[in-house]
């Protein structure tokens, strides 16, 4: 009992049915007092209030997390840009880093650096300092050279990429199965040549659409692919999976602070990145089945997404239409969709090919 920390007691109480935890508080407090580990009146008042709120259903997750953090050794749920997974979902690496941080916070508490009663009282300066201590530890090298923040973020990046690759592979299999049921889609070489002539000229000019297309395709306008099909498919695949960031403006201004400060190209890039595999799969499979002349406006594409996922609600369909609007405008530049918003022979050949290129396994 003498070695129990406030965090230990708080977690044990939260792991007990609330009514039982409330009933046990007086006895538990007496036992800790007898063991020479009385904690403090502020801790016990906070425990009683929090457990009572849990018992009557008025406590939020945030309320419980704040009480845990007020013990002085529970890490904040979010540190910098890192958010800890729930305990039962943490990887071994994340669990190890979390435990090391807890141990560090326990050392600070034992040394009197952290005052948990000030945390329990909601003292703004104490809370700010508590979070600063955690950020400082996360950004400091461990004895083995690892920096906790980068170690956990690199692992999460790797996990995200693995999940993304798996989703791409599954979507690619579905797309190829759908295309396998269709007749051959011939390459209209004259249309391709004329489209690429226009695109090459556009890429050499500043502003829209050249800058956005080049960023999507990851191309330098000064060294474009010589082969028309390669150029066209690179740009069309980039609309599905943008490869590069937009070039900074030449005015040297500050980074945009919010949605109102984004340029049209910024908004387009964000919208394209927000479309997921199922969105593209539903839209492109429908266009491939329909063939040249198929309506291909953003609203048509959003409808295909809704039909693919019947649980999609109206506001989600509206959001998909807004995002697809940028893709449709770029497809029109590439000659894949005509001015009337219908799929062209070039688009019938090229859009499914571009989607397969975008989802091809990484080398």
The predicted structure's pLDDT at residue 315: 61
Q: Which residues contact 237 (CB under 8 A, 6 or more apart)?
A: 217, 354, 355, 357, 358
The predicted structure's pLDDT at residue 246: 72
Task: Give CA 202 to chain center in angstroms.
Answer: 32
Q: Where are the beta strands (DSSP E) in 216-346?
A: none
The predicted structure's pLDDT at residue 173: 94
3 state SS of 83: strand
HSE toward the beta carbon, residue 303, CA cutoff 13 A: 8
Q: Which residues contact 336 (CB under 8 A, 6 or more apart)?
A: 236, 343, 344, 346, 347, 350, 351
Q: Which residues contact 64 (CB under 8 A, 6 or more apart)?
A: 14, 50, 54
Q: Are 254 and 231 in contact (CB under 8 A)?
A: no
Q: Burial-class residue 363 by CB neighbours within 10 Å (0-12, 13-18, 19+).
A: exposed
The predicted structure's pLDDT at residue 260: 53
Q: Are 196 and 294 in contact (CB under 8 A)?
A: no
The predicted structure's pLDDT at residue 318: 77
Tens digits of pLDDT across the chain (363 residues): 778 899 999 999 999 999 999 999 999 999 999 999 999 999 999 999 999 999 999 999 999 999 999 999 999 999 988 999 999 999 999 999 999 999 999 999 999 999 999 999 999 999 999 999 999 999 999 999 999 999 999 888 888 788 888 888 999 999 999 999 999 999 999 999 999 999 999 998 888 899 999 999 999 888 899 999 999 999 999 999 998 777 654 443 344 444 456 788 899 999 999 999 999 999 999 999 999 999 999 999 999 998 877 565 556 667 888 899 999 999 999 999 999 999 999 999 999 999 999 998 866
Q: What is the Cα–Cα distance from 80 to 61, expressed in whole angstroms?
A: 20
The predicted structure's pLDDT at residue 313: 52
Q: Where are the beta strands (DSSP E) in the chain?
A: 78-79, 82-83
Domain ranges of the chain: 6-151, 188-249+259-358
Q: What is the Cα–Cα distance from 160 to 239, expressed in whole angstroms?
A: 21
Q: Which residues contact 77 (CB under 8 A, 6 or more apart)?
A: 65, 83, 84
The predicted structure's pLDDT at residue 54: 94
Q: Are 21 and 49 in contact (CB under 8 A)?
A: no
Cis peptide before 284 (omega within 30 of 0): no
Q: What is the Cα–Cα distance from 60 to 54, expressed in whole angstroms?
A: 8
Q: Burial-class residue 234 by CB neighbours within 10 Å (0-12, 13-18, 19+).
A: buried
| CA-based nearest residue to 333, from 190, 196, 220 | 196
83: β partners: 78
Predicted TM-score (pTM) of this structure: 0.64
The predicted structure's pLDDT at residue 311: 60
Q: What is the Cα–Cα distance from 220 to 284, expressed in whole angstroms?
A: 27
| CA-based nearest residue to 246, from 200, 197, 206 | 206
Q: Are 339 and 222 in contact (CB under 8 A)?
A: no
Q: Are 79 and 132 in contact (CB under 8 A)?
A: no
The predicted structure's pLDDT at residue 231: 97
The predicted structure's pLDDT at residue 73: 95
Q: Which residues contact 311 (CB under 8 A, 6 or more apart)?
A: none
């Amino acid at each position: 009992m003498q070695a129990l920390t406030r965090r230990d007691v708080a977690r044990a109480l939260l792991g007990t049915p609330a009514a039982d935890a409330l009933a046990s508080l007086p006895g538990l407090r007496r036992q800790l007092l007898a063991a020479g580990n009385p904690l403090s009146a502020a801790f016990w008042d906070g425990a009683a209030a929090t457990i009572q709120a849990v018992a009557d259903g008025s406590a939020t997750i945030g309320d419980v997390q704040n009480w845990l953090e007020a013990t002085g050794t529970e890490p904040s749920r979010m540190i910098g840009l890192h958010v800890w997974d729930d305990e039962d979902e943490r990887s071994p690496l994340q669990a190890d880093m979390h435990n090391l941080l807890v141990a560090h916070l326990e050392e600070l508490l034992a040394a009197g650096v952290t005052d948990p009663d000030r945390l329990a009282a909601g003292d703004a300066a104490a809370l700010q300092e508590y979070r600063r201590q955690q950020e400082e530890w996360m950004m400091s090298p461990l004895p083995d050279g690892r920096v906790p923040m980068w170690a956990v973020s690199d692992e999460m990046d790797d996990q995200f990429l693995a999940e993304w690759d798996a989703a791409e592979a599954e979507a690619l299999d579905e797309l190829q199965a759908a295309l396998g049921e269709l007749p051959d889609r011939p390459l209209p070489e004259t249309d391709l040549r004329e489209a690429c002539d226009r695109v090459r000229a556009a890429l050499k000019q500043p502003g829209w659409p050249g800058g956005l297309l080049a960023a999507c395709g990851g191309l330098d306008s000064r060294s474009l692919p010589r082969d028309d099909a390669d150029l066209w498919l690179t740009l069309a695949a980039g609309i599905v999976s943008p490869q590069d960031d937009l070039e900074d403006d030449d005015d040297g201004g500050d980074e945009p602070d919010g949605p109102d400060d984004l340029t049209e190209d910024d908004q387009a890039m964000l919208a394209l990145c927000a479309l997921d595999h199922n969105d593209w799969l539903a839209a492109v499979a429908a266009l491939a089945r329909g063939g040249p002349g198929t309506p291909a406006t953003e609203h048509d594409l959003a409808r295909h997404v809704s039909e693919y996922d019947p649980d999609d609600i109206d506001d989600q369909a509206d959001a998909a239409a807004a995002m697809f609007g940028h893709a449709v405008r770029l497809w029109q530049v590439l000659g894949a969709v005509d001015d009337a918003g219908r799929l062209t022979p070039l688009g019938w050949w090229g859009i499914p090919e571009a989607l397969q290129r975008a989802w091809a396994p990484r080398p």
